[in-house]
Structure 1
Amino acid sequence: MWHAGLVAQSPLTGVLVVVGVLALATAFGWWRRRRDGRLRVVAGTGPAAADETSAVLAAVGVRPGGVTLVQFSSAVCAPCRATRRILDDVTRDVDGVRLLEVDAEHHLDAVRALDVWRTPTVLVVDADGRVVRRASGVPVRAELVATIRPLLAGAAR
């Protein structure tokens, strides 16, 4: 029966809404899984932005020379512990690489300045103090080592 101002709904409408929401959630999960932990190249910025980034990195403890892996983490982050294990292995196995873990909750200015949206976020900083790669999520160890080796070779020259 039709009432004024009400639209009759078919039982199929609810099913279509559920199927649509599941399709969107599946697409988002697939997209996130493909990006999670992958090292992305950081686009070059102008000298002023590079100076600001260098100042922020220095404020959290990054020192020039060698390659530094900067991990932004938080106390309640389970993937942060897995990331720390991977980064510890890399720094132990590859000479010339330092690890710096930054508590995101205590360094909110750095989090904002470096555009960190989630933990863990890993920044690969070269010998000149530039962020050259970044990953959100647990990075892939082999990809990380493959990224670091050329940076170390360039720093040795």
Structure 2
Amino acid sequence: MSLGLWVLAGALVAGVLLSMLKAWYDGRFRGKAQVDTVSAADLGAELGERATLLQFSSAFCAPCRATRRTLAEVEGMVDGVRHIELDAEAHLELVRRLDILRTPTTLVLDSTGAVVKRASGAPRKPDVIAALAIAIDHQPS
């Protein structure tokens, strides 16, 4: 086999592995080492009684629409949970403070506004529900 074919095969394998890694990582909820807090004044809206699903979106973001539907469904399923969607471009100070690097990004806040979990990309409904359970059970210190 020629060197060119080996290089091509290596590039294909690397591409497949990277796309699999991105698919696995995209939309996963992760904890946050440093606790950020978001207030109702930051959002221009009241926080949820038990938890808040805070979504950062942008105008031409197709995954943002899917995320909006998913979070709205979960909001309807769980009492005391509020879904708030913010345009990232209109809230640049908050985007910088919370280190939002892409849209959609979803932050799961507890009842006090502390960020408990975050996901970059479109999250799956079971992952949102699991993250909400952690936020609802979270006891602020």
What interval of TM-score do these two structures reach, taking the shorter chain for normalisation? 0.7 to 0.9
Partner AA of 1:89 in structure 2 = E
Aligned mates of 2:78, 2:4 — CA distance in 1: 56
Partner AA of 1:36 in structure 2 = D
Unaligned runs of 5+ in 2: none
Partner AA of 1:32 in structure 2 = K
Normalising by structure 1, we get a TM-score of 0.76
Q: Does 1:23 align with 2:7?
A: no
Q: Secondary structure at the match of 2:2?
A: helix
Deviations 1:20-56, CA, capped at 9 Å, x for gaps: 322222111111111111111122x2xxxx4xx3357
Deviations 1:98-119, CA, capped at 9 Å, x for gaps: 0110111222222222111111
**Are the equivalent residues in 2 in contact too, given 1:37–1:138 (CA < 8 A)?**
yes
The alpha-carbon distance between structure 1 residues 136 and 55, as it changes in their structure 2 partners (threshold 3 A), is: closer
**Shift in Å, 1:143:** 2.1
**Are the equivalent residues in 1 in contact too, given 2:103–2:120 (CA < 8 A)?**
yes
Aligned to 1:14: 4
Aligned to 1:54: 37
- Determine which structure has the larger helix proportion and give its number: 1
Q: Secondary structure at the match of 2:111?
A: coil
Normalising by structure 2, we get a TM-score of 0.84
Q: Secondary structure at the match of 2:132?
A: helix
Partner AA of 2:17 in structure 1 = A
User: How many residues in Structure 1 have an aligned counterpart in Structure 2?
Assistant: 138
Aligned mates of 2:59, 2:4 — CA distance in 1: 41
Aligned mates of 1:23, 1:66 — CA distance in 2: 46
Aligned to 1:41: 31
Aligned mates of 1:58, 1:39 — CA distance in 2: 25
Identity %: 43
Aligned mates of 1:54, 1:77 — CA distance in 2: 26
- After superposition, the CA RMSD in angstroms is 2.3
Aligned mates of 1:16, 1:56 — CA distance in 2: 55
